Amino acid sequence: MKQAITVVGYGLSETDLPEASLSIIAKADVLVGGKRHLAAFGEATADKVVIEGKMSAILDRLEGEVAAGKEVVILASGDPLYYGIGSLVTKRFGGDAVTVIPNVSAVAGAFSRLGLSWHDAGVVSLHGRGFSKGTLETLLSHEKTALFTDLTNSPDAVAAWLLEQGVTSGACHVFEQMGTDGEKHTQTTLAEAAEGSFSDPNMMVVVGASLEEEPLPIGLGMPSEAFAHQRGLITKPEVRAVTISKLNLKPWHVLWDLGAGSGSVSIEASRFVKQVCAVEQKEGRVADIKTNIRRFGATNMTVTEGELPDAATELPDPDVVFIGGGGKGLDAIIRMASTRMKENARMVVNTVLLQSLGTAVTTLEDEGFSVEVLQLSASVSTTVAWDMMLKGTNPVFIVTGIRGEG
């Protein structure tokens, strides 16, 4: 394919564009970019394509434009090949068909304003990705870290998440609208940033990030005392271990823990999966879950406060579902979760109630799952006088539903 697409780094604003880039833009038949980028070239005669929605659809359209012999220019923020659109375009059309013209990246702009070198800095992009264990690892392994934000993962949300993980820092810098007349640099603390509001586009630099306390190691069947929980309302260690074995977790799985209680199952499961999404409606228990996330450093785990099934609406689709508390709404919760899962799926329901046992079995079967029921009754030693005796725990029904090869 001949060279027919040029990706031009916009820099921080149109003032960063050199004459050579402006000349290329002026000759374009098709000009592609975000609304802010295209607004700077409102008088250009090229057909304008706004980058919004699915990028794959835009690239499909550009294939037609290239096939028709048109010169396509894509305006990209900062440096197109540095967490930018450039790599996506070259992957689709091939390096021989694409010319990429770099410019000043937002990271370079931010560190230049701080007067700090950034060859040894960490960089994290939260664009469409959200927080992960890697986010925290990068922050803690670098003295200074730049974070690309977006409308969802805004500086206040980032700061709030870091505080939940028990992170403290020497300084937090927020840069708003760099390169424009509305540019603003705020040096603040994570606590103040979490309460703030910042204009878009923006990015952050965090300096001197560390943990207030080192997280505890995560094991299977940890003692209940290790978790923050209310009045003994926690899945017992033995039940936790068997439940996790029935979930058959894989490193790429997204796990839902519905009716999470203290989050003890979620915490132990977080070692084995990509992401854990806990849902709990009781405010006090949500607070316990957040404490446990911080205590054990389970950074791939989130908690949503709300009543099921509606509280799960915004969660990513699950590969595996655990239901530890459904109550009278168990039927609706199972059916909601089932519709969000693939054909090959696995769902585990724990209950001590006979009516809930029947509901779990019949509803899972109705949703196309083959069902196995395990009744677990453990006896644990306790000291009495000069000896010890075994004290039984409540019998628990562990209902495992498997659909397809789940």
Query: Tens digits of per-residue pLDDT, 255-313?
Result: 999 999 999 999 999 999 999 999 999 999 999 999 999 899 898 999 999 999 999 99
CB 294 within 8 A of CB 266: no
End-to-end CA distance of the chain: 43
Q: What does the alpha-carbon distance between residue 155 and residue 215 come to, in Å, rounded to a whole number?
A: 24
pLDDT of 2 reads 54
* Distances, alpha carbon 61 to alpha carbons 25, 35, 224, 275, in Å: 19, 18, 57, 34
Q: Which residue segment(s) compose the domain that 141 sits in?
A: 107-211
Say if residue 129 is in the same domain as residue 84: no
Q: What does the alpha-carbon distance between residue 231 and residue 364 come to, in Å, rounded to a whole number?
A: 31
Half-sphere exposure of 73 (CA within 13 A, CB side): 23
- The reply to whether 15 falls in a domain is yes
In this structure, what CATH number is given to the domain that contains residue 146? Answer: 3.30.950.10
In this structure, what CATH number is given to the domain that contains residue 258? Answer: 3.40.50.150
Nearest alpha carbon to residue 106 among 22, 176, 181, 191:
176
- The reply to whether 19 falls in a domain is yes
pLDDT of 1 reads 46
Say if residue 232 is in the same domain as residue 124: no
Tell me the pLDDT tens digit for each residue of 137-195. Answer: 899 899 999 999 988 899 999 999 999 888 989 899 999 999 888 999 999 999 999 99
- The reply to whether 218 falls in a domain is no
Q: Is the peptide bond before 201 cis (omega within 30 degrees of 0)?
A: yes
Q: What does the alpha-carbon distance between residue 25 and residue 194 come to, in Å, rounded to a whole number?
A: 40
Say if residue 122 is in the same domain as residue 100: no
Query: Where among 183, 211, 239 does a domain terminate?
Result: 211
Say if residue 191 is in the same domain as residue 267: no
- The reply to whether 219 falls in a domain is no
Say if residue 389 is in the same domain as residue 275: yes
Say if residue 31 is in the same domain as residue 111: no
Instruction: For residue 187, count other CB atoms closer than 10 A to its CB.
Output: 13
- The reply to whether 314 falls in a domain is yes
pLDDT of 3 reads 62
Query: Where among 63, 82, 104 does a domain terminate?
Result: 104
- The reply to whether 216 falls in a domain is no
Say if residue 122 is in the same domain as residue 80: no
What is the mean pLDDT of the segment spanning 237-258? Answer: 96
Class of residue 141 by CB neighbours under 10 A (exposed 0-12, middle 13-18, buried 19+) = exposed
In this structure, what CATH number is given to the domain that contains residue 86? Answer: 3.40.1010.10
Tell me the pLDDT tens digit for each residue of 65-98. Answer: 888 889 999 999 889 998 888 999 999 988 888 9
Residue 32 in this model has a pLDDT that exceeds 90: yes
Q: What does the alpha-carbon distance between residue 222 and residue 237 come to, in Å, rounded to a whole number?
A: 6
Say if residue 120 is in the same domain as residue 145: yes
Say if residue 152 is in the same domain as residue 33: no
Q: Which helix (H) or strand (E) holds 370?
A: strand 370-376
Q: What is the DSSP string of 92-158?
A: HH-GGGEEEE----HHHHHHHHHT---TT-EEEE-TTT---HHHHHHHHTSSEEEEE--SSS-HHHH
- The reply to whether 372 falls in a domain is yes
CB 299 within 8 A of CB 131: yes
Query: Where among 56, 78, 104 does a domain terminate?
Result: 104
The count of structural domains within the chain is 3
Residue 325 in this model has a pLDDT that exceeds 80: no
Say if residue 25 is in the same domain as residue 137: no
- The reply to whether 333 falls in a domain is yes
Say if residue 399 is in the same domain as residue 292: yes
Q: Give the chain's mean pLDDT.
A: 91
Say if residue 253 is in the same domain as residue 392: yes
